Structure 1
Amino acid sequence: MSTPARPLAGRVVAVAGATGQAGRATVRRLAADGATVACAGTDPRRLDALLDATRRAVPGATVVGQVLDLLDPQAAHDWADHIEAEHGSVDGLVHLVGGWRGSKKFTDIDLSDWDFLHDQLVRTLQHTSLGFHDALLRSPAGRFAIVSAAGAAKPTAGNAAYASAKAAAETWTLALADSFRAVSAAAAAEAEAAVGGTSDPQPQRAAAAILVIKALVTPEMRAAKPNAKFAGFTDVADLAEAIADLWNRPAADLNGQHLWLTPR
Protein backbone atom coordinates (compact mmCIF):
# COMPACT_ATOMS: atom_id res chain seq x y z
CA MET A 1 0.00 0.00 0.00
CA SER A 2 1.44 3.36 -1.00
CA THR A 3 1.93 6.11 1.58
CA PRO A 4 -0.31 9.16 1.00
CA ALA A 5 1.56 12.21 -0.29
CA ARG A 6 2.34 14.79 2.36
CA PRO A 7 3.42 17.84 0.34
CA LEU A 8 3.55 20.14 3.38
CA ALA A 9 5.62 17.84 5.59
CA GLY A 10 8.06 19.98 7.53
CA ARG A 11 6.05 23.19 7.08
CA VAL A 12 4.73 25.08 10.09
CA VAL A 13 1.58 27.06 9.41
CA ALA A 14 -0.37 29.33 11.75
CA VAL A 15 -4.11 29.76 11.26
CA ALA A 16 -5.82 32.78 12.85
CA GLY A 17 -9.56 32.39 13.22
CA ALA A 18 -9.12 28.65 13.11
CA THR A 19 -12.45 27.68 14.71
CA GLY A 20 -14.69 29.17 12.01
CA GLN A 21 -16.10 27.29 9.04
CA ALA A 22 -13.16 28.14 6.78
CA GLY A 23 -10.68 27.57 9.58
CA ARG A 24 -11.83 24.06 10.40
CA ALA A 25 -11.57 22.94 6.78
CA THR A 26 -8.21 24.64 6.32
CA VAL A 27 -6.67 23.18 9.48
CA ARG A 28 -7.77 19.69 8.48
CA ARG A 29 -6.37 20.05 4.95
CA LEU A 30 -3.04 21.47 6.10
CA ALA A 31 -2.69 18.72 8.70
CA ALA A 32 -3.59 16.04 6.14
CA ASP A 33 -0.87 17.42 3.88
CA GLY A 34 1.67 17.00 6.68
CA ALA A 35 2.00 20.52 8.05
CA THR A 36 2.35 21.33 11.72
CA VAL A 37 -0.64 23.60 12.29
CA ALA A 38 -0.75 26.22 15.05
CA CYS A 39 -4.35 27.31 15.61
CA ALA A 40 -5.58 30.46 17.31
CA GLY A 41 -9.10 31.20 18.48
CA THR A 42 -10.92 33.15 21.17
CA ASP A 43 -13.16 30.38 22.52
CA PRO A 44 -11.31 27.60 24.38
CA ARG A 45 -14.12 25.06 23.98
CA ARG A 46 -14.37 25.58 20.23
CA LEU A 47 -10.59 25.44 19.96
CA ASP A 48 -10.40 22.16 21.89
CA ALA A 49 -13.18 20.73 19.71
CA LEU A 50 -11.26 21.72 16.57
CA LEU A 51 -8.07 20.05 17.75
CA ASP A 52 -9.90 16.87 18.76
CA ALA A 53 -11.81 16.69 15.47
CA THR A 54 -8.65 17.24 13.43
CA ARG A 55 -6.74 14.55 15.28
CA ARG A 56 -9.59 12.08 14.77
CA ALA A 57 -9.85 12.90 11.07
CA VAL A 58 -6.09 12.95 10.46
CA PRO A 59 -4.30 10.27 12.52
CA GLY A 60 -0.86 11.47 13.52
CA ALA A 61 -1.69 15.12 12.85
CA THR A 62 0.44 17.71 14.59
CA VAL A 63 -1.97 20.45 15.63
CA VAL A 64 -1.64 22.81 18.56
CA GLY A 65 -3.93 25.55 19.78
CA GLN A 66 -3.71 28.79 21.66
CA VAL A 67 -6.49 31.04 22.95
CA LEU A 68 -5.59 34.53 21.80
CA ASP A 69 -7.05 38.00 21.50
CA LEU A 70 -5.51 39.20 18.26
CA LEU A 71 -6.79 42.70 18.95
CA ASP A 72 -3.80 42.81 21.29
CA PRO A 73 -0.77 43.51 19.07
CA GLN A 74 1.66 42.11 21.63
CA ALA A 75 -0.28 38.84 21.73
CA ALA A 76 0.15 38.50 17.96
CA HIS A 77 3.90 39.17 18.18
CA ASP A 78 4.27 36.74 21.07
CA TRP A 79 2.34 34.07 19.16
CA ALA A 80 4.73 34.32 16.21
CA ASP A 81 7.76 34.20 18.51
CA HIS A 82 6.37 31.20 20.37
CA ILE A 83 5.68 29.20 17.20
CA GLU A 84 9.14 29.88 15.80
CA ALA A 85 10.85 29.03 19.09
CA GLU A 86 8.78 25.85 19.57
CA HIS A 87 8.83 24.51 16.01
CA GLY A 88 11.91 26.10 14.45
CA SER A 89 10.19 28.18 11.78
CA VAL A 90 6.96 29.82 10.66
CA ASP A 91 6.20 28.99 7.05
CA GLY A 92 2.75 30.49 6.82
CA LEU A 93 0.06 32.59 8.40
CA VAL A 94 -3.50 32.15 7.14
CA HIS A 95 -5.74 34.96 8.37
CA LEU A 96 -9.33 33.70 8.60
CA VAL A 97 -10.69 36.00 11.29
CA GLY A 98 -14.06 37.01 9.93
CA GLY A 99 -17.48 38.43 10.56
CA TRP A 100 -20.30 40.14 8.71
CA ARG A 101 -22.63 43.01 9.41
CA GLY A 102 -24.98 44.68 6.93
CA SER A 103 -28.27 46.46 6.41
CA LYS A 104 -31.15 46.59 3.94
CA LYS A 105 -30.49 50.19 2.88
CA PHE A 106 -27.51 52.53 2.88
CA THR A 107 -29.29 54.93 5.22
CA ASP A 108 -29.97 52.10 7.67
CA ILE A 109 -26.26 51.44 8.24
CA ASP A 110 -25.29 51.37 11.91
CA LEU A 111 -21.75 52.68 12.21
CA SER A 112 -21.16 50.39 15.16
CA ASP A 113 -21.07 47.68 12.48
CA TRP A 114 -18.02 49.42 11.02
CA ASP A 115 -16.32 49.42 14.41
CA PHE A 116 -16.92 45.68 14.75
CA LEU A 117 -15.76 44.86 11.22
CA HIS A 118 -12.76 47.14 11.45
CA ASP A 119 -11.61 45.28 14.55
CA GLN A 120 -12.29 41.80 13.20
CA LEU A 121 -11.19 42.14 9.58
CA VAL A 122 -8.59 44.89 9.70
CA ARG A 123 -7.08 45.24 13.17
CA THR A 124 -6.44 41.52 13.63
CA LEU A 125 -4.88 41.46 10.16
CA GLN A 126 -2.63 44.39 10.98
CA HIS A 127 -1.47 42.83 14.23
CA THR A 128 -0.78 39.38 12.77
CA SER A 129 0.99 40.70 9.66
CA LEU A 130 3.26 42.91 11.74
CA GLY A 131 3.85 40.14 14.25
CA PHE A 132 4.69 37.47 11.67
CA HIS A 133 6.45 39.61 9.04
CA ASP A 134 10.04 38.87 10.00
CA ALA A 135 9.46 35.20 10.78
CA LEU A 136 7.89 34.64 7.36
CA LEU A 137 10.89 36.29 5.73
CA ARG A 138 13.19 33.91 7.59
CA SER A 139 11.29 30.91 6.24
CA PRO A 140 12.45 29.33 2.96
CA ALA A 141 8.81 29.48 1.81
CA GLY A 142 6.85 32.01 3.86
CA ARG A 143 3.22 32.49 2.85
CA PHE A 144 0.63 34.96 4.13
CA ALA A 145 -2.97 34.72 2.96
CA ILE A 146 -6.29 36.41 3.60
CA VAL A 147 -9.75 35.65 2.27
CA SER A 148 -11.51 38.63 0.73
CA ALA A 149 -14.89 39.12 -0.90
CA ALA A 150 -15.85 39.93 -4.46
CA GLY A 151 -18.02 42.69 -2.98
CA ALA A 152 -14.92 44.63 -1.96
CA ALA A 153 -14.53 45.71 -5.59
CA LYS A 154 -18.26 46.19 -6.20
CA PRO A 155 -19.98 47.17 -2.94
CA THR A 156 -23.72 47.27 -2.57
CA ALA A 157 -25.59 49.95 -0.64
CA GLY A 158 -26.33 47.89 2.45
CA ASN A 159 -22.94 46.19 2.46
CA ALA A 160 -20.86 49.36 2.72
CA ALA A 161 -19.22 48.61 6.06
CA TYR A 162 -18.31 45.03 5.20
CA ALA A 163 -17.05 45.86 1.70
CA SER A 164 -15.01 48.78 3.03
CA ALA A 165 -13.38 46.60 5.67
CA LYS A 166 -12.54 43.94 3.10
CA ALA A 167 -11.10 46.58 0.77
CA ALA A 168 -8.96 47.91 3.60
CA ALA A 169 -7.75 44.39 4.37
CA GLU A 170 -6.82 43.88 0.72
CA THR A 171 -4.88 47.15 0.63
CA TRP A 172 -2.99 46.24 3.80
CA THR A 173 -2.11 42.82 2.38
CA LEU A 174 -0.84 44.36 -0.85
CA ALA A 175 1.40 46.63 1.23
CA LEU A 176 2.70 43.55 3.04
CA ALA A 177 3.40 41.97 -0.34
CA ASP A 178 5.35 45.05 -1.36
CA SER A 179 7.41 44.77 1.82
CA PHE A 180 8.22 41.14 1.04
CA ARG A 181 9.23 42.18 -2.48
CA ALA A 182 11.37 45.08 -1.30
CA VAL A 183 13.17 43.13 1.41
CA SER A 184 13.87 40.31 -1.03
CA ALA A 185 15.25 42.71 -3.63
CA ALA A 186 17.44 44.45 -1.07
CA ALA A 187 18.82 41.14 0.20
CA ALA A 188 19.56 40.02 -3.35
CA ALA A 189 21.35 43.28 -4.13
CA GLU A 190 23.38 43.01 -0.94
CA ALA A 191 24.38 39.43 -1.72
CA GLU A 192 25.36 40.38 -5.26
CA ALA A 193 27.49 43.27 -4.05
CA ALA A 194 29.23 41.05 -1.50
CA VAL A 195 30.51 38.68 -4.19
CA GLY A 196 31.24 41.27 -6.83
CA GLY A 197 28.13 40.69 -8.92
CA THR A 198 28.93 37.11 -9.90
CA SER A 199 26.37 35.20 -7.84
CA ASP A 200 23.15 33.77 -9.17
CA PRO A 201 20.12 35.83 -8.13
CA GLN A 202 18.30 34.43 -5.13
CA PRO A 203 14.57 33.82 -5.65
CA GLN A 204 12.01 35.62 -3.52
CA ARG A 205 10.93 33.36 -0.68
CA ALA A 206 7.96 35.09 1.02
CA ALA A 207 4.62 35.98 -0.53
CA ALA A 208 1.32 37.52 0.52
CA ALA A 209 -1.80 36.67 -1.47
CA ILE A 210 -5.53 37.44 -1.46
CA LEU A 211 -8.07 34.69 -2.10
CA VAL A 212 -11.35 36.14 -3.37
CA ILE A 213 -14.72 34.50 -2.86
CA LYS A 214 -18.37 35.50 -3.15
CA ALA A 215 -19.39 33.52 -0.07
CA LEU A 216 -18.62 30.17 1.51
CA VAL A 217 -20.74 27.04 1.57
CA THR A 218 -20.32 24.05 3.85
CA PRO A 219 -21.58 20.45 3.52
CA GLU A 220 -24.04 21.23 6.32
CA MET A 221 -25.49 24.14 4.36
CA ARG A 222 -25.93 21.96 1.29
CA ALA A 223 -27.58 19.24 3.36
CA ALA A 224 -29.98 21.74 4.92
CA LYS A 225 -30.96 23.12 1.51
CA PRO A 226 -30.46 20.28 -0.99
CA ASN A 227 -32.24 22.15 -3.79
CA ALA A 228 -30.26 25.37 -3.41
CA LYS A 229 -27.69 26.10 -6.10
CA PHE A 230 -25.39 28.36 -4.05
CA ALA A 231 -24.33 29.97 -7.32
CA GLY A 232 -20.84 31.40 -7.18
CA PHE A 233 -20.24 30.16 -3.63
CA THR A 234 -16.92 28.52 -2.76
CA ASP A 235 -16.96 25.23 -0.89
CA VAL A 236 -14.86 25.38 2.26
CA ALA A 237 -12.95 22.32 1.04
CA ASP A 238 -12.05 24.12 -2.19
CA LEU A 239 -10.85 27.14 -0.22
CA ALA A 240 -8.70 24.86 1.93
CA GLU A 241 -7.26 23.27 -1.21
CA ALA A 242 -6.38 26.68 -2.63
CA ILE A 243 -4.66 27.63 0.61
CA ALA A 244 -2.63 24.39 0.69
CA ASP A 245 -1.62 25.01 -2.92
CA LEU A 246 0.10 28.30 -2.03
CA TRP A 247 3.30 26.41 -1.22
CA ASN A 248 3.34 24.83 -4.68
CA ARG A 249 3.71 28.18 -6.42
CA PRO A 250 6.82 30.38 -6.66
CA ALA A 251 6.69 33.27 -4.23
CA ALA A 252 7.46 35.89 -6.88
CA ASP A 253 4.53 34.70 -9.01
CA LEU A 254 2.15 34.59 -6.06
CA ASN A 255 3.09 37.75 -4.20
CA GLY A 256 0.50 40.51 -4.33
CA GLN A 257 -1.94 38.47 -6.41
CA HIS A 258 -5.72 38.18 -6.20
CA LEU A 259 -6.64 34.51 -6.59
CA TRP A 260 -10.27 34.33 -7.63
CA LEU A 261 -12.24 31.31 -6.42
CA THR A 262 -15.52 32.65 -7.80
CA PRO A 263 -16.35 34.10 -11.22
CA ARG A 264 -15.29 37.72 -11.52
Structure 2
Amino acid sequence: MGNGALNGAVIAVAGAGGPAGRAALLRLARAGATVVGSDNDPERLAEAVDHARYEAGGATVTGDTVDLLDLNSTRDWANRVEKDFGRIDGLVHLVGGWRGSETFVKTSLDDWDFLELLLVKTVQHTSLAFFEGLQRSEHGRYVLISAAGASHPTAGNAAYAAAKAAAEAWTLALADAFHKAGGAAGPTSAAAILVVKALVHDAMRADRPNAKFAGFTDVTDLAEAIAGVWDKPASEVNGQRLWLTEKP
Protein backbone atom coordinates (compact mmCIF):
# COMPACT_ATOMS: atom_id res chain seq x y z
CA MET A 1 0.00 0.00 0.00
CA GLY A 2 1.89 3.05 -1.18
CA ASN A 3 1.03 6.71 -0.89
CA GLY A 4 -1.78 5.80 -3.25
CA ALA A 5 -3.59 4.95 0.00
CA LEU A 6 -3.57 8.68 0.70
CA ASN A 7 -5.23 9.54 -2.60
CA GLY A 8 -8.83 10.24 -1.64
CA ALA A 9 -8.16 9.56 2.05
CA VAL A 10 -9.50 11.92 4.71
CA ILE A 11 -6.87 12.92 7.25
CA ALA A 12 -7.32 15.10 10.33
CA VAL A 13 -4.28 16.99 11.63
CA ALA A 14 -4.34 18.24 15.23
CA GLY A 15 -1.99 21.14 15.85
CA ALA A 16 -1.98 22.09 12.18
CA GLY A 17 -1.00 25.73 12.60
CA GLY A 18 2.63 25.27 13.62
CA PRO A 19 5.61 24.68 11.30
CA ALA A 20 5.26 20.88 11.50
CA GLY A 21 1.53 21.17 10.92
CA ARG A 22 2.02 23.35 7.85
CA ALA A 23 4.46 20.83 6.37
CA ALA A 24 2.13 17.91 7.12
CA LEU A 25 -0.92 19.62 5.62
CA LEU A 26 0.99 20.30 2.41
CA ARG A 27 2.53 16.81 2.10
CA LEU A 28 -0.77 15.04 2.70
CA ALA A 29 -2.64 17.36 0.34
CA ARG A 30 -0.06 16.78 -2.40
CA ALA A 31 -0.61 13.03 -1.96
CA GLY A 32 -4.25 13.57 -2.85
CA ALA A 33 -5.74 13.47 0.64
CA THR A 34 -8.56 15.62 1.89
CA VAL A 35 -7.00 17.28 4.93
CA VAL A 36 -8.82 18.81 7.89
CA GLY A 37 -6.60 20.76 10.26
CA SER A 38 -7.32 22.01 13.75
CA ASP A 39 -5.48 24.49 15.93
CA ASN A 40 -6.31 26.67 18.90
CA ASP A 41 -5.09 29.75 17.00
CA PRO A 42 -7.64 30.55 14.25
CA GLU A 43 -5.38 33.01 12.43
CA ARG A 44 -2.40 30.68 12.36
CA LEU A 45 -4.65 27.82 11.24
CA ALA A 46 -6.16 29.87 8.41
CA GLU A 47 -2.68 30.77 7.14
CA ALA A 48 -1.58 27.11 7.21
CA VAL A 49 -4.74 25.95 5.40
CA ASP A 50 -4.45 28.66 2.73
CA HIS A 51 -0.76 27.86 2.20
CA ALA A 52 -1.39 24.12 1.74
CA ARG A 53 -4.40 24.69 -0.51
CA TYR A 54 -2.46 27.06 -2.75
CA GLU A 55 0.80 25.08 -2.89
CA ALA A 56 -1.03 21.79 -3.49
CA GLY A 57 -2.93 23.24 -6.42
CA GLY A 58 -6.41 23.63 -5.05
CA ALA A 59 -6.54 20.49 -2.93
CA THR A 60 -9.32 20.09 -0.39
CA VAL A 61 -7.79 21.51 2.80
CA THR A 62 -10.02 22.90 5.52
CA GLY A 63 -9.59 24.08 9.08
CA ASP A 64 -11.56 23.82 12.31
CA THR A 65 -10.89 25.69 15.53
CA VAL A 66 -11.29 22.91 18.10
CA ASP A 67 -10.74 22.86 21.85
CA LEU A 68 -8.85 19.58 22.15
CA LEU A 69 -8.84 19.97 25.94
CA ASP A 70 -12.57 19.32 25.86
CA LEU A 71 -13.52 15.73 25.04
CA ASN A 72 -16.99 16.62 23.78
CA SER A 73 -15.59 19.28 21.44
CA THR A 74 -13.06 16.76 20.14
CA ARG A 75 -15.75 14.13 19.62
CA ASP A 76 -17.87 16.71 17.79
CA TRP A 77 -14.91 17.41 15.51
CA ALA A 78 -14.37 13.73 14.75
CA ASN A 79 -18.06 13.22 14.01
CA ARG A 80 -18.19 16.33 11.85
CA VAL A 81 -15.21 15.25 9.74
CA GLU A 82 -16.69 11.81 9.10
CA LYS A 83 -20.15 13.28 8.38
CA ASP A 84 -18.82 15.94 6.01
CA PHE A 85 -16.43 13.71 4.06
CA GLY A 86 -17.94 10.25 4.52
CA ARG A 87 -14.91 8.68 6.19
CA ILE A 88 -11.87 9.30 8.38
CA ASP A 89 -8.60 7.58 7.53
CA GLY A 90 -6.12 9.28 9.81
CA LEU A 91 -5.43 11.50 12.77
CA VAL A 92 -1.99 13.08 12.93
CA HIS A 93 -1.29 14.44 16.40
CA LEU A 94 1.09 17.40 16.19
CA VAL A 95 0.06 19.30 19.33
CA GLY A 96 3.35 20.29 20.92
CA GLY A 97 4.99 22.50 23.48
CA TRP A 98 7.99 22.51 25.78
CA ARG A 99 8.91 23.74 29.21
CA GLY A 100 12.06 22.86 31.10
CA SER A 101 14.31 23.93 33.98
CA GLU A 102 17.98 24.43 34.75
CA THR A 103 18.12 21.52 37.18
CA PHE A 104 15.90 18.73 38.46
CA VAL A 105 15.18 20.40 41.80
CA LYS A 106 14.21 23.64 40.06
CA THR A 107 11.47 21.84 38.13
CA SER A 108 8.22 23.77 38.41
CA LEU A 109 5.18 21.55 38.86
CA ASP A 110 3.24 24.29 37.09
CA ASP A 111 5.17 23.17 34.02
CA TRP A 112 3.91 19.63 34.57
CA ASP A 113 0.33 20.85 34.89
CA PHE A 114 0.70 22.74 31.60
CA LEU A 115 2.40 19.91 29.71
CA GLU A 116 0.06 17.23 31.03
CA LEU A 117 -2.83 19.12 29.46
CA LEU A 118 -1.05 19.94 26.21
CA LEU A 119 0.80 16.70 25.56
CA VAL A 120 -1.28 14.03 27.32
CA LYS A 121 -4.88 15.19 27.61
CA THR A 122 -5.07 16.15 23.95
CA VAL A 123 -3.80 12.69 22.96
CA GLN A 124 -6.38 11.06 25.19
CA HIS A 125 -9.15 13.11 23.64
CA THR A 126 -8.19 12.69 19.98
CA SER A 127 -7.60 8.95 20.35
CA LEU A 128 -10.92 8.37 22.10
CA ALA A 129 -12.80 10.61 19.68
CA PHE A 130 -11.36 9.16 16.47
CA PHE A 131 -10.98 5.48 17.42
CA GLU A 132 -14.25 4.19 16.00
CA GLY A 133 -13.95 6.18 12.78
CA LEU A 134 -10.38 5.02 12.22
CA GLN A 135 -11.41 1.44 12.90
CA ARG A 136 -14.08 1.73 10.20
CA SER A 137 -11.43 2.76 7.66
CA GLU A 138 -9.61 0.16 5.58
CA HIS A 139 -6.32 1.87 6.37
CA GLY A 140 -6.89 4.07 9.43
CA ARG A 141 -3.80 5.50 11.08
CA TYR A 142 -3.25 7.39 14.33
CA VAL A 143 0.18 9.05 14.27
CA LEU A 144 1.77 10.54 17.38
CA ILE A 145 4.89 12.68 17.18
CA SER A 146 7.08 12.06 20.21
CA ALA A 147 10.55 12.91 21.47
CA ALA A 148 13.62 10.81 22.19
CA GLY A 149 13.61 12.35 25.68
CA ALA A 150 10.61 10.20 26.58
CA SER A 151 12.95 7.18 26.56
CA HIS A 152 16.00 9.00 27.97
CA PRO A 153 14.88 11.86 30.26
CA THR A 154 17.35 14.50 31.34
CA ALA A 155 17.32 16.24 34.73
CA GLY A 156 15.96 19.54 33.47
CA ASN A 157 13.31 17.93 31.28
CA ALA A 158 11.49 15.82 33.86
CA ALA A 159 8.04 17.27 33.22
CA TYR A 160 8.37 17.25 29.45
CA ALA A 161 9.81 13.74 29.23
CA ALA A 162 7.21 12.34 31.64
CA ALA A 163 4.38 13.88 29.61
CA LYS A 164 5.78 12.55 26.34
CA ALA A 165 6.25 9.09 27.89
CA ALA A 166 2.64 9.12 29.09
CA ALA A 167 1.44 10.10 25.61
CA GLU A 168 3.46 7.24 24.12
CA ALA A 169 2.02 4.73 26.60
CA TRP A 170 -1.51 5.91 25.82
CA THR A 171 -0.87 5.57 22.08
CA LEU A 172 0.52 2.05 22.53
CA ALA A 173 -2.68 1.15 24.41
CA LEU A 174 -4.62 2.47 21.41
CA ALA A 175 -2.47 0.24 19.21
CA ASP A 176 -3.41 -2.74 21.35
CA ALA A 177 -7.07 -1.84 20.91
CA PHE A 178 -6.59 -1.85 17.12
CA HIS A 179 -4.77 -5.19 17.43
CA LYS A 180 -7.59 -6.73 19.45
CA ALA A 181 -10.23 -5.34 17.08
CA GLY A 182 -8.47 -7.01 14.14
CA GLY A 183 -8.70 -10.48 15.67
CA ALA A 184 -6.98 -13.38 13.95
CA ALA A 185 -6.74 -11.50 10.65
CA GLY A 186 -4.61 -8.79 12.24
CA PRO A 187 -5.28 -5.07 12.59
CA THR A 188 -6.70 -3.05 9.72
CA SER A 189 -5.95 0.24 11.48
CA ALA A 190 -2.79 1.23 13.31
CA ALA A 191 -1.37 3.60 15.89
CA ALA A 192 2.29 4.51 15.37
CA ILE A 193 4.76 6.83 17.10
CA LEU A 194 7.31 8.89 15.18
CA VAL A 195 10.22 9.75 17.45
CA VAL A 196 12.41 12.81 16.89
CA LYS A 197 15.12 14.47 18.94
CA ALA A 198 13.67 17.87 18.10
CA LEU A 199 12.29 19.63 15.05
CA VAL A 200 13.85 22.34 12.91
CA HIS A 201 12.44 24.55 10.17
CA ASP A 202 13.64 27.34 7.92
CA ALA A 203 12.73 30.18 10.28
CA MET A 204 14.81 28.59 13.06
CA ARG A 205 17.79 28.31 10.74
CA ALA A 206 17.39 31.95 9.71
CA ASP A 207 17.31 33.03 13.36
CA ARG A 208 20.39 30.97 14.24
CA PRO A 209 22.51 30.73 11.07
CA ASN A 210 25.52 29.27 12.91
CA ALA A 211 23.62 26.55 14.76
CA LYS A 212 24.15 22.97 13.60
CA PHE A 213 20.84 21.50 14.94
CA ALA A 214 22.59 18.12 15.14
CA GLY A 215 20.16 15.23 15.16
CA PHE A 216 17.16 17.49 14.59
CA THR A 217 14.50 16.46 12.07
CA ASP A 218 13.39 19.01 9.48
CA VAL A 219 9.62 19.45 9.42
CA THR A 220 9.52 18.51 5.72
CA ASP A 221 11.27 15.21 6.52
CA LEU A 222 8.80 14.66 9.36
CA ALA A 223 5.93 15.26 6.94
CA GLU A 224 7.43 12.68 4.57
CA ALA A 225 7.65 10.17 7.42
CA ILE A 226 4.04 10.88 8.41
CA ALA A 227 2.88 10.12 4.86
CA GLY A 228 5.05 6.99 4.94
CA VAL A 229 2.98 5.50 7.77
CA TRP A 230 0.35 4.76 5.11
CA ASP A 231 2.97 3.02 2.94
CA LYS A 232 3.07 -0.11 5.06
CA PRO A 233 0.40 -2.57 6.19
CA ALA A 234 -1.22 -1.83 9.53
CA SER A 235 0.39 -4.90 11.10
CA GLU A 236 3.88 -3.53 10.39
CA VAL A 237 3.39 -0.10 11.96
CA ASN A 238 0.83 -0.74 14.68
CA GLY A 239 2.34 -0.25 18.11
CA GLN A 240 5.74 0.70 16.68
CA ARG A 241 8.09 3.51 17.64
CA LEU A 242 9.53 4.66 14.32
CA TRP A 243 12.79 6.49 15.02
CA LEU A 244 13.73 9.50 12.90
CA THR A 245 16.80 10.14 15.04
CA GLU A 246 19.34 7.91 16.77
CA LYS A 247 18.00 5.90 19.67
CA PRO A 248 19.40 7.25 22.97
Place the TM-score, normalised by the shorter chain, in its bin: over 0.9
Give the letter for the 1:122 counterpart.
Answer: V
Shift of 1:31: 0.6
Moved more, 136-145 or 57-66: 57-66
Please give the secondary structure, in 2, of the residue aligned with 1:248: coil
| d(CA) in 2 for partners of 1:70, 1:7 | 27
Percent identical among aligned pairs is 59
Matched, 1:148 2:176: no
1:214 corresponds to: 197
Name the aligned partner's letter for residue 124 of structure 1: T
RMSD in angstroms over aligned alpha carbons? 1.2
Q: State the match for 1:59 in structure 2.
A: 57
**Aligned twin of 1:20:** 18
Pick one of 96, 105, 120 that aligns with 1:98: 96
Residue in structure 1 matching 2:214, options 231, 234, 241: 231
Q: Please tell me whether the aligned partners of residues 5 and 139 of structure 2 are also in contact (alpha carbons under 8 angstroms).
A: no
Q: Give the corresponding residue for 2:68.
A: 70
Aligned counterpart, 1:87: 85
Residue 19 of structure 2 contacts residue 219 of structure 2 at CA under 8 Å; is this kept in 1?
A: yes
> Which residue number corresponds to residue 231 of structure 2?
248
Distance 1:140 1:116, change over 3 A: same
- In the TM superposition, 1:157-236 aligns within 5 A as 157-185=155-183, 188=184, 202-236=185-219
Query: CA–CA distance in 2 between the matches of 1:75 and 1:99?
Result: 21
Whole-angstrom distance in 2 between the partners of 1:256 and 1:58: 31
Give the CA deviation at 1:228.
2.2
How far did 1:49 drift? 1.0
Instruction: State the secondary structure of the residue aligned to 1:148.
Output: strand
Note the alpha carbon deviations across 1:133-158, whole angstroms, 9 max, x for none. 00000001000011111011111111
Output one character per residue of 1:95-125: Cα deviation in whole Å (capped at 9) or x when no partner. Answer: 1111100000111111010010000000010
**Distance in 2 between residues matched to 1:53 and 1:170, nearest whole Å:** 30
AA matched with 2:193? I
What 5-or-longer segments of structure 1 have no aligned partner? 189-201
Closer/same/farther in 2, CA of residues 130 and 161 from structure 1, 3 Å limit: same
3-state SS in 1 of match to 2:105: helix
What's the counterpart of residue 196 of structure 1? Answer: none
Q: How many residues align?
A: 245
Cα distance in 1 for partners of 2:33, 2:226 equals 12
Compare CA radii of gyration and give the structure with the larger one: 1
Confirm or deny: 8 A CA contact 1:7 1:34 kept in the other structure: no
Aligned residue identity for 1:13:
I
Mapped pair 1:117 → 2:100: no
Query: What residue identity is the alignment partner of 2:188?
Result: R
Scaled by the length of structure 2, the TM-score of the pair is 0.96
Q: 1:9 aligns with which of 7, 19, 23?
A: 7
Match of 1:194 in 2: none
Whether the 8 Å CA contact 2:179–2:186 is kept in 1: the answer is no
Shift of residue 222 of structure 1? 2.1
- In the alignment, residue 166 of structure 2 is paired with which amino acid? A
Q: What TM-score does the superposition give when structure 1 sets the normalisation length?
A: 0.90
Q: Secondary structure at the match of 1:108?
A: coil
CA distance 1:7–1:224, shift in 2 (3 Å): farther
Question: In the alignment, is the contact (CA less than 8 A) between 1:207 and 1:252 conserved in 2?
Answer: yes
Runs of 4+ in 1 over 6 A off after TM superposition: none
Letter in 2 for 1:246: V
